[in-house]
Structure 1
Amino acid sequence: MATRWKRRPEGSTWGDFGEDDQLGRLNLLTSEKVKAGIAEVKEGLSFCLSMPLDFPGGAVLNPRRHPPRVSPTLQDGCPCLNFPLARLDARNTDVLSDDQVTLALQYSTQWDSFAHVGAFFDVEDNGVRQKVYYNGYRANEHVVGPRDYRPEGDVDVDGPYGAHALGVANMARKAIQGRAVMIDLKKHFGLERHYVGYDNLMRVLDRDRIEVTPGDMLLFRTGFTEVLVGMNRNPDGDVLARTAAVLDGRDDALLQWISDSQVAALCADNYAVEGLPALERTLGQRPALPLHQHCLFKLGVPLAELWWLAELAEWMQAHDRHACLLTAPPLYLPGAVGSPVTPVATV
């Protein structure tokens, strides 16, 4: 029994990979799984799966997240862009440029870590729900923010802030790499909004003769970022809300399949992977982000959003292929709960 919890969520993997595990299903990216990914490399062609990090543009998709701001660093108070070092020492012939960025880490092509979404859950089995994350890691102890939100009133918290556990640095150390499988939902459902549940997904896998094996990372191409990029950094929220397939996080059969299949990660070219708002099929209290809670909180399956999958998907269709080697480590940034990523698929 883990020291952080006496009771774990039903159907979760808490403790399955060890009491102090912070990698979840990424533990299934073994050396054998990396070799399975390498075995999918036939042509030696590589595809960049990232959008430019200043997409989508504006803050339409998420009002908390704004475009990156790139600026020069300063050298003696001067912007270091085309900066002549001769100003410091006349003997120098160098010209330097050096910059910095203010970036919402989950603005564009990204990974979600397990510190991104937790839940209220009775980990002590005493009838009191607490704010916890995957494998029982605690809010305000392992994931620390400047304010503790309490029913009786908010309390300011002393730092240091950030994800002291479950952050993207763990994923970076793992150096995410292995076999990935393309599931082309755009091919089957077009660009209209469609909530894809278990039955839909099984039909797609059957029709395309796709085999999913434990430890695979799944790539869901919906066409969302293809529409988004076409808007050229001026996204239309109403149009995007009606665009492309999304996974139905309220479909219990779909969630059970994610559990049973032992996939290591879900990566999609849309926003949030699952449909927002989630379809309403339940009464009473329920997660607003059911797929996020199932994957990040219960299973330890990381989610990736807003990937660029168009060229890879089209190449795979043309060559009757479905699998590739995927290399996609996030930034090695201690304390961060999410990260931009430049994934590379090799076929």
Structure 2
Amino acid sequence: MRRWLKRPEGANWGLFGEDDQIGRMNLVTPARRLAAVASVTEGLAFPLSLPLDHPKKQVFAGRNPPVLSPTISADGRTMYDWMPAGGPIDVVNDDQVLLGLQYSTQWDGLSHYGTCFDADDDGVAEHVFYNGYRIDRDFVLPGEGRAPAALALGIEKLAETGVQGRGVLVDLRRSDEKVGYDALMRAMAEQGAEVGEGDLLCLYTGYADILLRDGADVSDAELAACPGLDGKDSALLDWIDRSGIAAICADNSMVEKIDGVNRCAGTAMMPLHEHCLVRLGIHLGEFWWFGALAPALAERGRSHFLLTAPPLNLPGAVGSPVTPIATI
């Protein structure tokens, strides 16, 4: 049975195959990956992640920082400064973590964000995700003694691609709070940043710099003043579609700026999330850090680099921490 009979306006469902689960990452071809590798001339590597315990001040209620604890051995002993039975010289530390998968530097999977849409054309809207996958058929919902899982579009599908291609950094720190098409094009032109099909667009707003600098004392007002994309700008959404970019990665909390949870009936709270994750299959990265990479690129008069950023290969998860690496 076909998964959907109609798709949202502007959606590319079916473009990469009826059962596709990686969206525009299909455009990161071996040839494009080779071109990105060929752009490396100095072998300098720049980590693009925050420490996993950042933000130090909670940005989203319910998303909690990691909690480390020692592993407990089969016989009930704490495996920290642990000497295995019968071993007079061995000392072992072993730990585990309770980790919010989308607390710090992360990927949003295509299973992270959906929409209500009548995909089977029966007059009733379903909860659907990229390429018509549905909450009632393709997900395990949490319940008594039952863990949730994305049976389709899980973050492991992104991990299987390797996530390695050409990153292009655009510095938006001097832009207005809401960055639409005109402002983005202006910034790209000023910086000589050329973005093409299969590229991973990276947006530097200064947000993560503030998180690192101020820790738990970070100012909400200062964070709020950092730019983000204007998901209501139809010209911007159209460009994202036409550009062929495979992903958008930002150093802020949501990539886009929204007006809170209040919105007009029938409209998405996060229109750029809906456009990218649901309609086009464009993965979103959040809480990345470009504070060291940006000046290094500026000094060299370039904006592109080799980006390597696989998520955890964790079947069924809808998002994942990531430790991206830029190489120039």
Determine if the TM-score, normalized by the shorter chain, exceeds 0.5: yes
Q: Determine the structure 2 residue equivalent to 1:259.
A: 241
- The whole-number CA distance in structure 2 between the counterparts of 1:105 and 1:337 is 8
Match of 2:279 among 289, 298, 308: 298
**What's the TM-score once normalised by structure 1's chain length?**
0.90
Partner SS, residue 317 of structure 2: coil
Amino acid paired to 1:40: S
Q: C-alpha offsets along residues 73-95 of structure 1, whole Å, 9 cap, x if unaligned?
A: 0122222111112xx11x44211
- The whole-number CA distance in structure 2 between the counterparts of 1:169 and 1:314 is 33
Q: Determine the structure 1 residue equivalent to 2:152.
A: 165
Amino acid paired to 1:46: A
Q: Determine the structure 2 residue equivalent to 1:152.
A: none
Match of 1:64 among 56, 62, 65: 62
**Is the Cα–Cα contact under 8 Å of residues 278 and 289 in structure 1 kept in the other structure?**
no
Residue 231 of structure 1, CA deviation: 1.6
1:30 paired with 2:12, answer: no
Q: Determine the structure 2 residue equivalent to 1:93.
A: 89
**Is the Cα–Cα contact under 8 Å of residues 56 and 211 in structure 2 kept in the other structure?**
no
- The whole-number CA distance in structure 2 between the counterparts of 1:110 and 1:284 is 30
Instruction: Pick which of 121-130 and 158-167 moved more.
Output: 158-167
1:180 paired with 2:162, answer: no
- The whole-number CA distance in structure 1 between the counterparts of 2:61 and 2:294 is 30
**Is the Cα–Cα contact under 8 Å of residues 5 and 136 in structure 1 kept in the other structure?**
yes
Residue 210 of structure 1, CA deviation: 1.7
Amino acid paired to 2:34: K
**Is the Cα–Cα contact under 8 Å of residues 57 and 215 in structure 2 kept in the other structure?**
no
Q: Determine the structure 1 residue equivalent to 2:258.
A: 276
Matches within 5 A, 1:147-158: none
Matches within 5 A, 1:322-333: 322-333=303-314
- The whole-number CA distance in structure 1 between the counterparts of 2:65 and 2:49 is 15
**Is the Cα–Cα contact under 8 Å of residues 150 and 316 in structure 2 kept in the other structure?**
yes
- The whole-number CA distance in structure 2 between the counterparts of 1:278 and 1:184 is 25
**Amino-acid identity (%):** 46
Residue 159 of structure 1, CA deviation: 4.2
**What's the TM-score once normalised by structure 2's chain length?**
0.95
Residue 40 of structure 1, CA deviation: 1.4
**Is the Cα–Cα contact under 8 Å of residues 261 and 269 in structure 2 kept in the other structure?**
no
Q: Determine the structure 2 residue equivalent to 1:111.
A: 107
Call closer, same or farther: CA 1:141–1:92 in 2, change over 3 Å: farther
- The whole-number CA distance in structure 2 between the counterparts of 1:115 and 1:279 is 21
- The whole-number CA distance in structure 1 between the counterparts of 2:146 and 2:251 is 35
4+ runs deviating over 6 angstroms: none
- The whole-number CA distance in structure 1 between the counterparts of 2:244 and 2:270 is 20
Call closer, same or farther: CA 1:129–1:332 in 2, change over 3 Å: same
Q: Determine the structure 2 residue equivalent to 1:231.
A: 214
Match of 1:312 among 268, 287, 293: 293
- The size of the alignment, in residue pairs, is 327
**Is the Cα–Cα contact under 8 Å of residues 49 and 308 in structure 1 kept in the other structure?**
yes
Partner SS, residue 206 of structure 1: helix
Instruction: Pick which of 33-42 and 137-146 moved more.
Output: 137-146
**CA RMSD of superposed structures (Å):** 1.8
Match of 2:140 among 129, 140, 144: 144
Gaps of at least 5 residues in structure 1 are 148-155
**Is the Cα–Cα contact under 8 Å of residues 58 and 67 in structure 1 kept in the other structure?**
no
**Is the Cα–Cα contact under 8 Å of residues 56 and 235 in structure 1 kept in the other structure?**
no
- The whole-number CA distance in structure 2 between the counterparts of 1:162 and 1:121 is 21
Gaps of at least 5 residues in structure 2 are none
